[in-house]
A and B are shown apart, each in its own frame.
Chain A
Amino acid sequence: MAATTTTAAEPRRLDRPALTGVLVREIVNFSSYWRSTTFSSTVEPTIYLLAFGFGFGSLVSTVAGFDYVDYVGTGTVATAVLFSSVFPAMFGTFVKYKFQRTYDAILAAPVDAEELVTGEALWIAARAGTYGCVPLLVAMVFGLSPSWGMLTVPFIAFLTGLGGACFGILIAAIMKSIENFNYVTSIVITPMMLVAGTYFPISGLPEWAQVLAQFNPLYHCVQLVRDAVFGFHGWHDLYHVGALTLFAVICWRLAIRYMERKLID
C-alpha cells in the first residue's frame, strides 16, 4: 500500500488545498442542513422587517429623510449578517471543537489552525453575504426601489460577515463553556445590534453612544448598505469599508491565535 518515499516540501502557509479542504467539508455538510438554515435566515429578518416596518412604521412615516420601511429594510441587512455570522461561528466552532471533535480530525490532516480558522470564516462570510441580501429583497417586495448600488450589498455583507465570523470564532476559542456565551450576547451583541442605526438613527442617542457606534462594525455595515442603496458618499464610505476591514483583520488574527492555543497542546 505504501506509495512513495519522497520527501515533499512543507506546504506554505494558507495554502489553497488546505483552505479548499476546509471549505469542501463545510459545503458538503451544508447540503444536509441548508433548508433549516435558509428558512431561519429568511424568516427572521422578514419578521423584524414586518414588526418594525409596519408596527413602528404606523407611528413614524419617515426617519432621517427615508421612508421608514426603506430605512428598516436596509438596516436589517446588518441584523441578518449578524445572525448568520456571529452566532453560527460561536456555536458551530464550540460544538465542532468540544463535542464533535471535528477539528481534531481536520488538524490531523495537512491543515493548520490558521487555515482552519480562515476556511471556516470564509465559508460563514459567504453565507452571510448571501443571507444578508434577504431583507433587501423583502423590502423590495414592500416597495423599496431597486438601484445599481444594491449589487454591492453582497460584498458589504460578506466583509461584515467575515469580521462577525472571526469574532464568533474568537469568542468560542476564549470561552470555556457554551453557557458563557450568554454574557457575550448580553453585553456585546445586543448593544451592537441596537446601537447600529438599524431601527432608529444614532443621532438621537447620547454623544458617548454615538462615539461607541464608531467602534461597532454593524453601524458601518448599516451606513454602507444605505449608501449603496440610496447613493454612495465617497470618502465616508471608504471610511466605513476601512473600519469593517480593520475589524475583520483584528478578529481574524486573534481568532487564529486563540484557536491555536485551544487546539494545539
Chain B
Amino acid sequence: MSHAIRMRAAVKRFGPITAVAGLDLDVPIGTCVGLLGPNGAGKSTTMRMLTAQAIADEGELDVLGHRLPAESKAARARMGVVPQLDNLDTTLTVEQNLLVFSHLYRVKHSERAGAIERALEIANLGERRKSKVDELSGGMRRRLLIARALVHEPELVLLDEPTVGLDPQVRQELWALIDRLRSEGTSILMSTHYIEEAERLADTVVVMAEGKAVARGRPAELVVQHAGRQAVEVYGPPQRLREVEDDARSRGWATRRTGTSVTILRAETLDGHAPDGERRPANLEDVFVLLTGEEVA
C-alpha cells in the first residue's frame, strides 16, 4: 500500500447538481496534500465521501487499503477527521470529550489514559482539561477538535478547512500543530481556501474548481507552470487599471484583477514591455485565481 487515499473518477451528485465531477485524488503515505479551491468547489463533499458520509455515485475509493463504502468502518477506525464546523459536546469538559472519542475510536482500556494525555499534550490543553468546552476560546476549541481526531493515533487525518474563521495568530498555532503531525509521518488531506495554508503545509496541492481537479503538483511547481516566475502589479485609479488590462489583453498577456491593482503574470517573458509597477515573485494565489476564476479569501 503506497497511498493513504486513492480516488479514481469519483462522482457525487445532489439532484441536478454535480458536486464532485470525476475527481482523481492520491495521498501518498506520509505526505500532506492540500485540497485548494473556492467555496462550492466540492472539497467538503470529497471529504465526506472519504468517511462514507457521502456515497459516491461513480468511481473507486480506497482509504488505507480499504475499499469504500463497503469497508468504510475499518478505514474510519484508522483515520481521524477534523470537521469544518465545531461539533464538540459543549457541556462536557475537554477531558470528557477526549474520553468519549477514545471509546468511539476503540482505544484499548489499558491505553486510554495515555491516549488522552498525549492528545492533551499535542493540543497544548493540559491545563484546561477540566474546563468545559463552553469556556474555551475559538482557538482552543479548534485545537480540541484536532486532539479529538488524534486520540487513537490515526495513520491518516482529514482536515476540513482547519483554520477557517480564526484570527491569524491562532491560525499560525494550528499550522505548527499540523506541521508537527506531518513531520511525524501522519498522512494528511487538508481542504482549504487559504492559499498561505496550502503553500506552507502541503507537500502537493490539488486545485479544485466545479468538482474537478484543475491542477496538481508541488506548490512551487504549480506557480512556475501556471503563473511564471514573476508578476508585475500595477496600481492606479480604475480608469488606469482598465487601460492596463485592455493593453495586456491585446498583447496576449495573462492578467488578474486584485481589487486595487492589476497583476500581469509571467513578467519575466515580457522583454521590458511590461508597464511600470511593483515586481514580485509569482505565487500560488496567482495560480488559484487563474485556474478557478475566483478572488481569494
Contacts and interface: CB of A to CB of B under 8 A. Distances in A.
Interface stretch (A108-116, A158-166, A204-212, A245-253): A108-116
A10 B74 contact: yes
A21 B73 CA distance: 14
Contacts, number: 124
Interface residues of B, number: 50
B164 interface: no
Given A1-B153, A24-B104, 9 more contacts: A21-B105, A28-B99, A29-B91, A33-B91, A110-B104, A111-B104, A264-B53, A264-B55, A265-B55
Given A10-B70, A11-B74, A104-B53, A17 B106 contact: yes
A24 B103 CA distance: 7
21 contacts: A1-B153, A1-B184, A2-B184, A2-B186, A3-B153, A4-B155, A7-B1, A11-B74, A17-B106, A21-B103, A25-B100, A33-B91, A101-B83, A108-B53, A109-B101, A110-B74, A110-B76, A111-B73, A264-B54, A265-B45, A265-B53
B289 interface: no
Interface string A214-238: 0000000000000000000000000
Interface in B92-135: 92, 96, 99-101, 103-106
A104 B14 contact: no
B73 A25 contact: no
Interface in A121-151: none
B177 to A, nearest CB: 12
Given A1-B184, A1-B186, A25-B89, A265 B14 contact: yes
Contacts of A7: 1, 64-66, 74
Contacts of B88: 105
Interface string A9-34: 11100000110111011001100110
Interface in B247-285: none
A32 B155 contact: no
Nearest to B52: A264
Contacts of B96: 28
A9 B74 contact: yes
A101 B86 CA distance: 8
A29 to B, nearest CB: 6
A108 B51 contact: yes
Interface of B: 1, 12, 14, 29-30, 45, 48, 51-55, 64-66, 70-74, 76-78, 81, 83, 85, 87-92, 96, 99-101, 103-106, 148, 150, 153-155, 181, 184-187
In this complex, the member of B12, B64, B77 whose beta carbon has the largest number of chain A beta carbons within 10 angstroms is B77
Contacts of B55: 264-265
Contacts of A62: none
Nearest to A13: B73
B89 A109 contact: no
A21 B106 contact: yes
Given A7-B65, A20-B103, A263-B53, A29 B89 contact: yes
A107 interface: yes
Contacts of B186: 1-2
Contact of A104 (B29, B83, B154): B83
A42 B68 CA distance: 47
Given A25-B103, A108-B83, A2 B53 contact: no
A40 interface: no
In this complex, the member of A9, A10, A108 whose beta carbon has the largest number of chain B beta carbons within 10 angstroms is A108
Contacts of A105: 81, 83, 87-88, 101, 148
Contact of B105 (A22, A29, A101, A109): A109
Nearest to A101: B87
Nearest to B185: A2
Contacts of B105: 21, 109-110
B1 A107 contact: no
A1 B121 CA distance: 14
Contacts of A112: 72-73
A5 B71 contact: no
B54 A108 contact: no
Contacts of B148: 105
A100 interface: yes
Nearest to A113: B53
A39 to B, nearest CB: 17
Contacts of A187: none
Contact of A5 (B1, B52, B72): B1
B73 A11 contact: yes
A4 B52 CA distance: 22
A1 B85 CA distance: 25
A252 B131 CA distance: 37
A102 interface: yes
A32 B97 CA distance: 12
Contacts of A22: 104
A110 B77 contact: yes
A22 B72 CA distance: 18
Given A1-B184, A8-B78, A29-B92, A102 B87 contact: yes
Nearest to A104: B87
| Closest 5 A/B residue pairs (Cβ) | A21-B104, A1-B184, A265-B54, A108-B81, A101-B87
